[in-house]
Amino acid sequence: MRLSLILPGLLAFVVALPAGAADTELASSLADQRELAVTIYNENLALVKDARRIKLERDDNRLAWRDVSARIRPETALLRNLSHPEGFWLIEQNFDFDLLTPQKLLDKYVGQEVRVIKTHPTTGAETQETAKVLATNSGTVLQFSDRIETGVPGRLAFKDVPATLRDRPTLVISLHSPAAAAQNLELSYLTGGLAWKADYIAELSPKDDKLDLNGWVTLTNTSGTRYQNAKLQLVAGDVNRVREENAFAQAPRQLLQAPAPAPKMAEESLFEYHLYTLDRPTTLADQQTKQVALLTASGVPVSKEFVLRGADYYYRSAYGELGQKMKVGVYVEFDNAGAKLGIPLPKGVVRVYKKDGAGNAQFVGEDRIDHTPKNEKVRLKLGEAFDVTADKKQTDFQKLGGFGKYNYVFESAYRIELKNAKNEAATVKIVEPLPGDWEILEESHPHQKEAANTSVWRVQVPANGKTVLTYRAKVRY
């Protein structure tokens, strides 16, 4: 059934007034706004600083601060008087999370009368009756003068909207002002519903030895309000937060609008984090995503690597065949350094493309990076090689000692056949994690001990050919 009064569903935060406070409510809208700053952190958290010029009365005031975030964390709200801080104080802050919807409006009228408007299906004539709302639990119960009906037999008309229901997100504050004058006030608070993430697009050169890198920041606003001409800053880093035991109610979500591009950002250090500042004010519309350019670098030197990783379990027992046509991982690596890069990279997803023979860019893989300081390496796994494979088997296994819980000694031998169907040579990095106290007794190619439990071979495989690595290892527990 239709309701005659359809209002948008917005969350209202209401502050109750103590006895003696002013009865007249002063409403502040975006027309009073003089400055707005939004700092967005990782993990869906933002700091909003909303500065407005508002005419206050002397002594007690009841101020309705409209257009706050619908997902405000009310315990973090702080109102400051920048014009007359002496003699200015807050009296009380209480919050009501009633949401203005047709159903909530009907719930507020339980025990009160409404008008029921019916339209004749043939003539179109309208008739009206008065009914009392008895209940709205799992349906509506209406009491007419001569009967009780369930459901809504027509349109309902309400005489007004209860004071606790607002048409938009509103914070109502009871305060004391030292003077009757227009004053500069700043409301700051933490809120959910604002988030950002970094995304990177890289294009490899024809020889896979260089790449062009573009970084974007994607902003998402589902906070229930619009941030007009805001100074925008982003904090990259893992800020510690106390998890709430009970989550506050959230505003309803809608489909996001298409991304809107915006200018680049400047970077600076902030405590143990990094701060990125947009070079001009921007608008974050509610239920919208916006993309902001973060960095651009071309001709960044890059190296490509084929990696075959082993396991430590087969050094302790006999297994024989360990794998046929095993996949070899493909990695690319570059330094976040030099004139082309050398800035802290926020964590995000790097998507890599390469042009085909016709000059069309094709997607070749993606990987996620963590927050990366300058002068550190960025390593991306793009997938598994199609033309480079490996056949691996254990050719010998002996238990040389140890029959209790300790002093085990095992000796085993392996054969890894690397095949390359490409028209160019490839170098495969074979990484073997060896347990316990180990040593390589025999090998067809020299190894390197890269860590206490890791042996590495770098094996050259000719174009359209194959290379065999054999080795024997002894491990002790």
Tokens 């037999």 found at:
153
Q: pTM above 0.85?
A: no
Model confidence pLDDT, tens digit, residues 351-390: 999 999 999 999 999 999 999 998 999 999 999 999 999 9
- Virtual CA dihedral for 440, 443, 447, 450, nearest 10 degrees? -30
> Element (H or E) spanning 440, and its range?
strand 437-443
CA angle 21, 24, 25 (to 5 degrees): 95
Rounded-to-integer distance, Cα 134 and Cα 111, Å:
6
Same domain, yes or no: 55 and 132: no
Same domain, yes or no: 408 and 471: yes
Residue 291 has pLDDT above 50, yes or no: yes
Residue 429 has pLDDT above 70, yes or no: yes
Stronger pLDDT, 128 or 11, i.e. the higher one = 128
Average pLDDT over residues 157-182: 86
Average pLDDT, the chain: 86
Residue 452 included in any domain: yes
pLDDT at position 133? 94
Residue 375 included in any domain: no
Residue 78 included in any domain: yes
Same domain, yes or no: 72 and 144: no
Residue 236 included in any domain: no
DSSP label of 345: B
Domain boundaries, position 153 = 110-157
- Asked if 52 and 37 count as a contact pair (C-beta separation under 8 A), the reply is no
Q: In sequence order, what DSSP letters do the residues of 48-97 get, joined into one string?
A: EEEEEEEEE-SEEEEEEEES--TTB-GGG-EEEESS--TT-EEEE-----
Edge-to-edge strands, sheet with 377-401: 437-443, 465-476, 409-420, 377-401, 321-335, 303-309, 426-433, 454-461, 448-451
Q: Is 237 helix (H, G, I), strand (E, B) or coil?
A: coil
Q: Which residues contact 259 (CB under 8 A, 6 or more apart)?
A: 218, 289, 290, 291
Tokens 């309701």 found at:
3
Same domain, yes or no: 84 and 115: no
Q: Is 103 helix (H, G, I), strand (E, B) or coil?
A: helix
Q: What is the CA radius of gyration of the chain?
A: 34
- Asked if 234 and 196 count as a contact pair (C-beta separation under 8 A), the reply is yes
- Cα diameter, the chain: 102
CA angle 228, 231, 233 (to 5 degrees): 125
pLDDT at position 256? 37
Residue 96's pLDDT band (cuts 50, 70, 90):
low
Same domain, yes or no: 317 and 182: no
> Element (H or E) spanning 295, and its range?
strand 288-301
Residue 56 included in any domain: yes
pLDDT at position 339? 79
pLDDT at position 94? 66
Residue 175 included in any domain: yes
Rounded-to-integer distance, Cα 445 and Cα 466, Å:
14
Same domain, yes or no: 152 and 169: no
Question: Across 3-7, 94-98, 244-248, which has the greatest mean pLDDT?
Answer: 94-98
Same domain, yes or no: 415 and 468: yes
DSSP label of 169: -
Same domain, yes or no: 186 and 132: no
Task: State the total domains in the chain.
Answer: 3
Same domain, yes or no: 173 and 116: no
Residue 418 included in any domain: yes
Model confidence pLDDT, tens digit, residues 231-268: 999 998 777 767 655 444 443 333 334 344 444 566 67
Q: Which residues contact 29 (CB under 8 A, 6 or more apart)?
A: 66, 67
The CATH code of the domain that includes 413 is 2.60.40.1170
Same domain, yes or no: 53 and 120: no
Same domain, yes or no: 179 and 320: no
Model confidence pLDDT, tens digit, residues 393-422: 999 999 988 766 678 899 999 999 999 999
Rounded-to-integer distance, Cα 360 and Cα 354, Å:
8
Residue 149 has pLDDT above 50, yes or no: yes
Strands 194-204 and 348-355 turn out to be: parallel
Same domain, yes or no: 321 and 450: yes
Helices (H), 27-155: 102-108
Amino acid at 431: V
Stronger pLDDT, 254 or 330, i.e. the higher one = 330
Mean pLDDT check: name the lowest of 60-64, 190-194, 277-281.
Answer: 277-281
Residue 1 has pLDDT above 70, yes or no: no
Token reading at 307: 């990696």
Residue 289 included in any domain: no
